[in-house]
Chain A
């Protein structure tokens, strides 16, 4: 099974088993890390905001227009900002590294 690497807001690294087909948000939420994901993964809020390690950015499918719109409601958005509910785990993403964006 692929694993993803998640830095929490204190900078601690968590290496999580990531079933193929799950969203990165689901992997983070099921691991009990603090991610709000208020809308449950339908790209209707911006509370699963993560920063993707720049090395991995090009390996992801580019964001859908919906996701870019929702990111307008997030704060401290950077070029590597994504909504983790919109990133599907694939075997190629083994080792994907993300950081939880600040909570607000």
Chain B
């Protein structure tokens, strides 16, 4: 990872001081990344916030290995390759990434600047904010049972913050991917009992993890149950059992006091919905000159924005990023003149790119 992790900025934030920058970009998908490039050519510094634990948005999370054929002049690349190339392209501009953080609040300051606060407590102050949040932030898919809510955060979890909190408990883990298998294996030595529930006897997790899990199951050190969770039992937020419908159609009650459910991630708009932006069916309305929202200095680009004729294509997002930066420059450098130049011929731009 050639980029700074943001830990120094986080320390600053924890001291109560906001990170001052030119452009805060919400979303580190392809469009957010290309905005760093266009901003960088204009001399603007960027910080990016993303709720995922990796850079790349949907390209990296949903379809890293799937081919993309409609990027201009790139006849074919995978989702991950596109992200890797964008990272290479923006490297000269040294953006700072704040991953696993969700942009929670947006406030206008008296001096006209914007303050963005994340779920981790990081605070930014900037003259311009670009929302490049795609279809929203990725959040764990919740267990879709009406009784689930009362247990969430107390005995039902969708992620592990501190593994010690699970030690000594009777644990049920649901899912067939790497998260489920990794946590079953990590918690098994410390659990009072542990069971893995998956809807079929095949797993998409790494084969070595599956093999270890099967060995433990054969030894009786963990229970493998093929079936689906259909109900939860307990009271006051404390689970007592999960009900599982097994393959033969029977229902089984498995006593447990901790449930870890890994059903993948889903995308939702999240806190952005409450920022006072003009929305249309979950998308942010913008003008097509600068992709600015109804809030001056707050822009929306990529899949999250909407305007007459909008197409949700990565290439449209790239175009939107370029135009957005022209206007963002005016908020960031009100007293400077912006001269339009080409990377092919401008020594100034080539210096910024570090090629001369």
Q: Taking beta carbons and an 8 Å cutoff, which residues of A are in contact with B? A: 38-40, 42, 44-47, 68-69, 71-73, 75-77, 102-104
State which residues 163-179 of B face A: CB under 8 Å: 175-177
Are A102 and B144 in touch, CB under 8 angstroms? Answer: yes
Q: Considering only CB atoms, which chain B residue lies closest to A45 in the complex?
A: B62
What are 24 A-to-B residue pairs whose CB atoms are below 8 Å?
Answer: A38-B62, A39-B58, A39-B62, A39-B63, A42-B66, A44-B62, A44-B66, A46-B264, A47-B266, A69-B204, A71-B199, A72-B177, A72-B198, A72-B200, A73-B177, A73-B264, A75-B143, A75-B263, A76-B144, A76-B228, A77-B199, A77-B228, A104-B141, A104-B144
Smallest beta-carbon distance B268→chain A, Å: 10
Q: How far is the CA of A47 from the CA of B263 in the complex (A)?
A: 12
Q: Considering only CB atoms, which chain A residue lies closest to B230 in the complex?
A: A76
State which residues 134-163 of B face A: CB under 8 Å: 135, 141-144
Smallest beta-carbon distance B254→chain A, Å: 18
Q: How far is the CA of A44 from the CA of B67 in the complex (A)?
A: 12
What are the residues of chain A within 8 A of B200 when measuring CB–CB? Answer: 68, 72
Q: How far is the CA of A72 from the CA of B175 in the complex (A)?
A: 7
Q: How far is the CA of A13 from the CA of B191 in the complex (A)?
A: 48
For the A-B complex with A39-B62, A40-B312, A76-B144 known, give 5 more contacts whose Cβ atoms are closer than 8 Å: A68-B200, A72-B198, A77-B228, A104-B141, A104-B144
State which residues 66-93 of B face A: CB under 8 Å: 66
B187-206 interface code vs A (CB 8 A; 1 in, 0 out): 00000000000111010100
What are the residues of chain B within 8 A of A46 when measuring CB–CB? Answer: 264
Q: How far is the CA of A75 from the CA of B174 in the complex (A)?
A: 11
Smallest beta-carbon distance A14→chain B, Å: 20
Q: How far is the CA of A46 from the CA of B265 in the complex (A)?
A: 10
The 6 tightest CB contacts between A and B, nearest first, are: A104-B144, A73-B264, A44-B62, A44-B63, A72-B176, A69-B204
Partner of B135, one of A38, A71, A77: A38
Partner of A38, one of B144, B176, B204, B267: B267
What are the residues of chain A within 8 A of B142 when measuring CB–CB? Answer: 104
What are the residues of chain A within 8 A of B62 when measuring CB–CB? Answer: 38-39, 42, 44-45
Q: How far is the CA of A5 from the CA of B302 in the complex (A)?
A: 34
The B interface, classified by DSSP as helix, strand, loop or mixed, is loop
What are the residues of chain A within 8 A of B266 when measuring CB–CB? Answer: 38, 45, 47
Are B204 and A72 in touch, CB under 8 angstroms? Answer: yes
What are the residues of chain B within 8 A of A76 when measuring CB–CB? Answer: 144, 228
Q: Considering only CB atoms, which chain B residue lies closest to A74 in the complex?
A: B263
Smallest beta-carbon distance A74→chain B, Å: 8
What are the residues of chain B within 8 A of A77 when measuring CB–CB? Answer: 199, 228
Smallest beta-carbon distance B264→chain A, Å: 4
Q: Considering only CB atoms, which chain B residue lies closest to A75 in the complex?
A: B144
What are the residues of chain A within 8 A of B267 when measuring CB–CB? Answer: 38
Q: How far is the CA of A72 from the CA of B135 in the complex (A)?
A: 22
Q: Considering only CB atoms, which chain A residue lies closest to B136 in the complex?
A: A38
What are the residues of chain A within 8 A of B63 when measuring CB–CB? Answer: 39, 42, 44
Smallest beta-carbon distance A9→chain B, Å: 12
State which residues 231-282 of B face A: CB under 8 Å: 263-264, 266-267
Q: How far is the CA of A42 from the CA of B70 in the complex (A)?
A: 14
Q: Considering only CB atoms, which chain B residue lies closest to A71 in the complex?
A: B199
What are the residues of chain A within 8 A of B263 when measuring CB–CB? Answer: 73, 75
Q: How far is the CA of A68 from the CA of B62 in the complex (A)?
A: 16
Q: How far is the CA of A68 from the CA of B202 in the complex (A)?
A: 10
Q: Considering only CB atoms, which chain B residue lies closest to A102 in the complex?
A: B144
Q: Considering only CB atoms, which chain B residue lies closest to A69 in the complex?
A: B204
What are the residues of chain B within 8 A of A42 when measuring CB–CB? Answer: 62-63, 66
What are the residues of chain A within 8 A of B58 when measuring CB–CB? Answer: 39
Q: How far is the CA of A77 from the CA of B144 in the complex (A)?
A: 12
Smallest beta-carbon distance B258→chain A, Å: 20
Q: Considering only CB atoms, which chain A residue lies closest to B303 in the complex?
A: A40
What are the residues of chain B within 8 A of A38 when measuring CB–CB? Answer: 62, 135, 266-267
Partner of A72, one of B144, B199, B312: B199
Q: How far is the CA of A76 from the CA of B199 in the complex (A)?
A: 9
With A38-B135, A47-B266 in contact, is A73–B66 under 8 Å at CB? no
